[in-house]
Amino acid sequence: MEIFISIIIISIITIIFLVLFKQNNSSNNLELEDHESLEEWDCPECGFHIQIGDSCTYCYEQKPL
Q: Tell me if 21 contacts Zn ion by CB under 5 A.
A: no
19 CB-side CA count, 13 A: 6
| Residue count, binding to Zn ion (CB under 5 A) | 8
Amino acid at 47: G
Q: Which of residues 28-57 bind Zn ion (CB under 5 A)?
A: 43, 45-46, 48, 56
Task: Using alpha carbons, select from 32, 44, 33 the residue that is nearest to residue 55.
Answer: 44
Q: Tell me if 61 contacts Zn ion by CB under 5 A.
A: yes
Q: What does the binding site for Zn ion look like in residue numbers (CB under 5 A)? A: 43, 45-46, 48, 56, 58-59, 61
